[in-house]
């Protein structure tokens, strides 16, 4: 299978545009189609978990699919039409085919009075009901009288679908990158995250850790994955939940529950030179809640731009293709690359010649710097790495304490290791 390019910002944009119209939910064919498209870019292992499967304290629900839905006025005109926007139907709505007066229909209508031209996004996954979402100005223009209401949906035993893409590393310790696949046409929350995760996966070549990308519905998907991968949890070295990845706001990192996990320190270091906010963990938000639940307590943080519910367009029709910018997505992608470039090379070493400063010249280490424009920096990096390599300090500690770039510190450690002066 040949996999499509995601090498340029235009490729990233095209993927977002392809994924945006699909009607996703926590289950169903919209999720499968989404994963098919992602699978054109990175090979995916797709899992189907049957309805009724017990997953931790939850049960996999029935599968929901929808073909059409509308509200027609007395003239037969569709005043609300699922074909125009999949946000128009409350997610997981049970099928309905009725005529009713507006007074009765109102109980099933959701609007945003403060944003009269926007359509809200609503779901009711675990309580059987039905409803429509529409602009307040549409509702205001609907006269009293009888309306024909139809939701052509099915709620039936099926399965929950999620997918994994694994990049094998030198070691079996894992880094997980997770994004949710359960929102319909919301470009920032979640299509941008899906596209950026796929693009990042394609850049990884021969990493140290094994990288596992998870494309799954929010909450129930992470709970299902954890329930089915309990034996793997002990190997998870670090992780990041990616969401709201393309809006114009500055980057926001939410720490893991631990607060001092390696991923927390790496993100603080990487974000120091770009506009950002770092916030403490709270048990509300995306799937970091599941990975950081007390029984697992994994070192998993969350990277967004504007966080969960932090922008007016959140969970509305205004979270559209115009709301996400290519520049913002590129910056988020670059931040992922920079973060895992540090995490993947961050080791602790032991200096094998710790009594006094070892002679670098006789090992050819100074000669290797000859003529390099950064020779002084590289020399300082070697001295710092030797001094702090006592088994207690990581290369990130060295970079932070010395003020030297992590790349220089990692390169110095590699040279010293090759010269027999350091061991892992």
DSSP per-residue string spanning 75-137:
TS-EEEETTT-GGGB-BTPPPEEEEEEHHHHGGGEE--TTSTTPPB--B-SSS----EE--HH
315 is in an annotated binding site: yes
210-247 core/surface letters (b: 16 or more CB in 10 A; e: else)? bbbbbbbbbbbbbbbbbbebeeebebbbbbbbbbbbbb
96-101 and 146-156 strand pairing: antiparallel
Six-digit token pair at 291?
A: 């990975």
Distance set, CA 350 to CA 231, 358, 359, 417 (Å)? 31, 13, 17, 10
110 is in an annotated binding site: no
Give the residues across from 300 on adjacent strands.
239
Is 189 marked as a binding-site residue?
A: yes
Residue 423 CA from chain centroid, whole number: 35
Q: Could you tell me the sign of the dihedral formed by the alpha carbons of 138, 92, 193, 6, in that order?
A: negative
Residue found under tokens 């670090």: 238
Instruction: Please report, in range form, the residues annotated as the binding site.
Output: 183, 189, 315
Instruction: Please report, in range form, the residues annotated as the binding site for Zn(2+).
Output: 183, 189, 315
């Amino acid at each position: 299978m040949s996999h499509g390019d995601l090498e340029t910002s235009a490729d990233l944009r095209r993927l977002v545009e392809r994924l945006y119209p699909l009607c996703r939910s926590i289950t169903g064919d919209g999720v499968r189609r989404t994963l098919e498209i992602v699978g054109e870019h990175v090979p995916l292992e797709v899992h189907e978990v049957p309805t009724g499967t017990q997953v931790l304290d939850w049960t996999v629900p029935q599968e929901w699919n929808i073909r059409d839905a509308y509200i027609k006025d007395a003239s037969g005109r569709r005043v609300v039409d699922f074909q125009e926007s999949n946000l128009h139907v409350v997610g997981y709505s049970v099928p309905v085919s009725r005529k009713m007066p507006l007074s009765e229909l109102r109980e099933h209508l959701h609007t945003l009075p403060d944003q009269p031209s926007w359509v809200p996004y609503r779901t009711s996954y675990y309580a059987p009901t039905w409803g429509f979402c529409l602009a307040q100005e549409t509702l205001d223009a609907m006269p009293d009288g009888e309306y024909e209401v139809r939701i052509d949906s099915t709620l039936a035993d099926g399965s929950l679908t999620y997918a994994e893409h694994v990049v094998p590393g030198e070691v079996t310790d894992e880094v997980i990158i997770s994004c949710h696949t359960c929102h319909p046409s919301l470009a920032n929350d979640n299509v941008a995250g899906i596209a950026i995760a796929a693009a990042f996966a394609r850049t990884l070549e021969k990493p140290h850790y094994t990288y596992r990308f998870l494309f799954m519905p929010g909450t129930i998907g992470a709970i299902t994955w954890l329930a089915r991968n309990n034996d793997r949890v002990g190997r998870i070295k670090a992780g990041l939940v990616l969401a709201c990845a393309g809006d114009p706001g500055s980057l926001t990192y939410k720490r893991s529950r631990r607060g001092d996990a390696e991923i927390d320190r790496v993100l603080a270091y990487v974000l120091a030179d770009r506009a950002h906010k770092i916030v403490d963990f709270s048990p509300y938000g995306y799937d970091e809640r599941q990975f950081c639940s007390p029984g697992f307590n994994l070192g998993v943080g969350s990277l967004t731009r504007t966080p969960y519910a932090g922008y007016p367009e959140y969970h509305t029709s205004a979270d559209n293709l115009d709301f996400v910018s290519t520049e913002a997505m590129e910056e988020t992608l670059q931040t992922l690359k920079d973060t895992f470039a540090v995490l993947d090379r961050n080791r602790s070493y032991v200096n094998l010649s710790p009594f006094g400063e070892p002679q670098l010249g006789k090992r050819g280490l100074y000669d290797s710097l000859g003529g390099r424009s950064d020779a002084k920096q590289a020399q300082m990096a070697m001295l710092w790495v030797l001094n702090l390599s006592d088994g207690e300090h990581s290369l990130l500690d060295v970079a932070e304490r010395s003020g030297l770039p992590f790349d220089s510190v990692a390169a110095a450690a590699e040279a010293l290791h090759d010269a027999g002066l350091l061991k892992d």
